[in-house]
Amino acid sequence: MGPYIVRRLTQAVFTVGGVLLITFLLFRVVAGDIAAAHLGPRATAQQRAEWMQKYGYDKPLIVNLNEPRAFWDAQLVHYFSRTLTFQNRSLITNDMLIQTVIERAPYSLAITVPAMALGWALAMVISTIVAYYRASLIDHVGVFLAVLGMCVPYLAFIIGGQWLMFQIKPTMAYGLANPLNIFVPVGIAVIAGLGYSVRFYRTVILDEANRDYVRTARAKGVPLPGVMFKHILRNCMLPILTNLILAIPFLIMGSLLLETFFGVPGLGDLLLSSINNRDEPIVSGLTFLTALIYVLGNLATDVSYALFDPRVQLS
Amino acid sequence: MSVLEATHQIEETTIRPGRSLGQDAVRRLARDPMAVGCFAIIVLYAVIAVLAGFWWPDFQTSINYELRNQPPSWAHWFGTDVFGRDVFAKTMLGAKVSMTVGFMANAIAVPLGLMLGVLAGYYGKRIDDLVVWFYNTLASIPGIILLIAIKFAFQNVVLFRDTAFAIDLTGIHGLYVALGIMSWIGTCRLVRAETLKIKNLDYVTAARAAGAGHLRIMFRHIVPNLMHLAIINFTIGFVGAISAEVILSFLGLGVDVGTPSWGTMINAARMDLVVGRWWEVIAACGAMFLIVLALNIFGDRLRDALDPQLRI
């Protein structure tokens, strides 16, 4: 088990390095003229040069050839060290990113944690019922509705939900004046994700239900509910939990669109407003942060599999 | 009748010319009314995408303030927008954007994934490590955030500036590239895994023994056996590309300002529902719903027909 965990750890380090490299390429090499976006099109060449110098955009990209003794004094090194130590500062407010994240993360979590928990529970119940009555009317109707739900655009759920709330109780349709308002976006997120989850969980459950050990259990006379709960559902938990863990970065980012629609000052709202303001350090820092959380979540899953599931160790 | 004659007769009646796997899949799909119906919807959208630009060439300038915000009528089936333009035409032009983005993104992503997957699976070792590292890295940035980041970086970037082939990545061309860059991963994973299996099969060993080179083995012997994966991923990737285009255009990071697209329609009309103007939002969402539904169902049936064991 030791070598496996060590191998997974080195892999994770390389992945994080790769994410840094990709974001550097995107935001520093590919990205267009950022000074022009901040100073406006009528800025003089001198103003631009000063601005670029102030924020370090005038340094050479990868190696500083002008200074042999300080060849590392280039954007690449500064970018890496700044991002890895979470020292990104906003170009507009000069606030430290990590501070802003700590302030705003609770709002994002307030939407996504209940949404994930409720969505998971609801999808689990519905997909178990649908799978239990497989090939009957309940199953067909359930799958049909799930597919329909999957195909309705996410934006339609949000706009429709907000409109509906506006008809019922206008004060709850926007903002957080009343803390209970948070449950409107939560409800929308649950309903919007339900179609996909039900279909996915149903497939997982039926996959498991077709295995030999289930047939043996039924042959020896275990009643159907017993097979379902004691045998099938327990073994389904592995793929379902993996699927849940892969959704963790979205937990942190909140629901990008929901936050803007419902005036929730979370991280998704921060990302979108930073994009509109061309606030490069914030956008790159947030991108790196979500990737980092994803990599760590994945690592934790794999390591805990290795600890708890004896079959994983050799692969 | 002699025994010999009888066997001849049996052979004549039972032995039919063989069908290829592809022909078999087409036959199976053609027998399935649901698959045929969905395919017809997809073809309809494709035809609309090709013709809409010719049918409504002057849509953007057809502003008529006397007709602004008219509800649906016989003259304007889906009503008119805030500039008095026909929402039906706008929706059809939106289909053009969505179908083009879906097609172009997959035209970049699927060959890329196929190529890298076969290379990684076939050569293994360092090349495999590199490709796997590359897609693991890309996959660790959540899709929509990576897309937003790429489009953010592409703002005001022009490829091949000052040449005849200048490509402005700010608008729709940037969408093709951004979606192409990030949606090859699924194809690559499947193709790599399949190549790892295929490359040890006897027929590949036989080809190698017969003196076939690496490239010949890869592209004449392995890739044709992976084409079903490419076709399935092309269909399934379409849904993702269309949804991503709508969300990005809605956020103002997609098509150029003023280009009619379902995302910009929803953005323009997001506050309209409250004041009772429902037709523009419903038209955009409905059009998107129908094509996504058709693609999802057709993709499923296609997958079942081509590769019953595969699950994506």
User: Tell me: the pLDDT tens digits for B167-206?
Assistant: 777 778 888 888 998 889 989 998 998 898 888 888 888 9
Model's pTM, two decimal places?
Answer: 0.84
pLDDT at B2: 62
Q: Within a domain: residue A195?
A: yes
In this structure, are A137 and A7 located in the same domain? no
User: CB distance from B200 to chain A under 8 Å?
Assistant: no
In this structure, are A204 and A134 located in the same domain? yes
The SS3 call for residue A219 is helix
| Mean pLDDT over each residue of chain B, to the nearest integer | 83
pLDDT at B42: 93
Q: Within a domain: residue A23?
A: yes
pLDDT at B212: 83
Least confident of A49-63, A260-274, B168-182: A49-63
pLDDT at B46: 92
* C-alpha–C-alpha distance, residues A63 and A259, integer Å: 41
Q: Within a domain: residue A100?
A: no
Q: Are A107 and A265 in contact (CB under 8 A)?
A: yes
Interface-testing mutation among A112, A169, A287, with chain B (most B C-beta atoms within 10 A):
A287
Q: Within a domain: residue A295?
A: no
Question: Hey, are the CB atoms on B145 and A30 less than 8 Å from each other?
Answer: no
Interface-testing mutation among A9, A15, A155, with chain B (most B C-beta atoms within 10 A):
A155
Q: Within a domain: residue A201?
A: yes
Query: Which domain does A51 fall in, by range?
Result: 2-84
Region A139-160 average pLDDT = 89
Q: Per residue in B234-293, pLDDT tens?
A: 988 899 899 888 888 888 887 877 788 888 888 887 777 777 788 888 888 999 999 999
* Model ipTM value: 0.82
* Token pair for B254: 């997609």
Residue B114 has pLDDT above 90, yes or no: yes
In this structure, are A59 and A152 located in the same domain? no
Question: Hey, are the CB atoms on A153 and B253 less than 8 Å from each other?
Answer: no
pLDDT at B146: 86
* C-alpha–C-alpha distance, residues A83 and A19, integer Å: 11
* C-alpha–C-alpha distance, residues A93 and A73, integer Å: 26
Q: Per residue in B24-59, pLDDT tens?
A: 888 888 888 888 999 999 999 999 989 888 887 777
pLDDT at A315: 47
pLDDT at A76: 78
In this structure, are A236 and A117 located in the same domain? yes
Least confident of A116-130, A131-145, A194-208, B256-270: B256-270
Q: Are A306 and A4 in contact (CB under 8 A)?
A: yes
If you ran DSSP here, which 8-state letter would residue A33 be given?
Answer: -
Beta strands B158-159 and B167-168 are antiparallel
Region A277-291 average pLDDT = 86
Residue A70 — pLDDT band, cuts 50, 70, 90? low
* C-alpha–C-alpha distance, residues A175 and B24, integer Å: 57
Q: Within a domain: residue A89?
A: no
In this structure, are A77 and A121 located in the same domain? no
In this structure, are A17 and A115 located in the same domain? no
Higher pLDDT, A50 or A265: A265
Q: Within a domain: residue A101?
A: no
Residue reference for tokens 């200074």:
A67
User: CB distance from A267 to chain B under 8 Å?
Assistant: no
Least confident of A240-254, B19-33, B146-160: A240-254
If you ran DSSP here, which 8-state letter would residue B168 be given?
Answer: E
In this structure, are A21 and A165 located in the same domain? no
pLDDT at B312: 45
Least confident of B8-17, B88-97, B133-142: B8-17
Higher pLDDT, B120 or A54: B120
User: CB distance from A15 to chain B under 8 Å?
Assistant: yes
In this structure, are A141 and A256 located in the same domain? yes
Residue B182 CB burial class (10 angstroms; 0-12, 13-18, ≥19):
buried
If you ran DSSP here, which 8-state letter would residue B222 be given?
Answer: I
Higher pLDDT, A230 or B128: B128
The C-alpha of A11 sits at a distance from chain B's nearest C-alpha, in angstroms, of 8
* C-alpha–C-alpha distance, residues B22 and B28, integer Å: 10
pLDDT at B13: 57
Q: How far is CA A47 from the centre of its chain?
A: 39
* C-alpha–C-alpha distance, residues A120 and A123, integer Å: 5
pLDDT at A253: 64
In this structure, are A261 and A176 located in the same domain? yes
The C-alpha of B270 sits at a distance from chain A's nearest C-alpha, in angstroms, of 7
Q: Per residue in A204-216, pLDDT tens?
A: 888 888 888 888 8
Q: Torsion angle, CA of B171/B174/B175/B177, rounded to 10 degrees?
A: 160
- Look at chain A and report how many structural domains it folds into: 2
Q: Within a domain: residue A260?
A: yes
Domain CATH for A228: 1.10.3720.10
In this structure, are A7 and A140 located in the same domain? no
Residue B83 has pLDDT above 80, yes or no: no
In this structure, are A71 and A117 located in the same domain? no
Q: Which helix (H) or strand (E) holds B1?
A: none
What domains lie within chain B, and their CATH numbers?
24-310 (1.10.3720.10)
In this structure, are A220 and A148 located in the same domain? yes
Region B78-104 average pLDDT = 85
